[in-house]
Amino acid sequence: MFAGMIPLSTQPWLPPGAGPARWIVSERKGTWAAALGREPEASATRIHQTRSLAECWEMLDRAPASFVVAELTRANAEALADRLARLPREYPLARAAVVAERSLAAYEPWVREAGAVAFITSPRGLAPLAAMARRQLQQAPAVQLGLAEQIWARLPWGKEEG
């Protein structure tokens, strides 16, 4: 088991109104999400993309047992570290990994100390990250959905969130 990953079966609850766990990728350009989508482990999982940490955490509010992949940049380093440090308290069922350009590799110890379960600097090394996300989503507590919600959840484009 990877550092920071606690079996979700020991905490089988979700807050009232919570949606099912998601794989959320927060990045500016979509490069990491595209690379993750090509991984065999990710083939059966929809990747939900956001373009900012604020948007990512809004999605996490609705799906608090999700697996987050957040892009680290020089501009968002402090904000990302702050959010990672608060993650266990605010979203105890969620896990977060960080991706970054190779030039930011020196940030790894700092980001891991903040709470990231993984730090990746190459789009070619994503297989372990995809496996981690799959395990997280499989272990997430089930949400009781109504019939309409079940149908929307099975559609490839999902239900638009407003």
45 in Cβ contact with 133 (< 8 Å): yes
Residues in the chain: 162
Q: Where do the domains of the chain lie?
A: 19-142
Give the residue among 123, 130, 126, 100 at the shortest CA–CA distance from 112.
100
pLDDT of residue 157: 74
Going across the sheet that includes 95-100, the strands are 47-50, 23-26, 67-72, 95-100, 119-120
Of 33, 31, 73, 32, nearest to 53 by C-alpha is 73
Tokens of 1: 């088991």
Residue 161: per-residue pLDDT: 52
Give pLDDT, residue 162: 43
pLDDT at 125: 84
Q: Running along the chain, 162 residues long, what does each successive block of 10 average in pLDDT?
A: 48 69 95 92 88 95 94 97 95 96 97 96 92 91 72 71 48
Q: pLDDT at position 80, please?
A: 97
CA atoms within 13 A on the CB side of 51: 2
39/130 Cα distance (integer angstroms): 7
Residue 66's CB is within 10 A of a number of other CB atoms, namely: 26
The residue among 119, 132, 123, 135 whose CA lies nearest residue 36 is 123
| pLDDT tens sequence across 107-153 | 999 999 999 999 999 999 899 999 999 999 888 887 666 677 778 77
CATH class for the region spanning 19-142: alpha beta
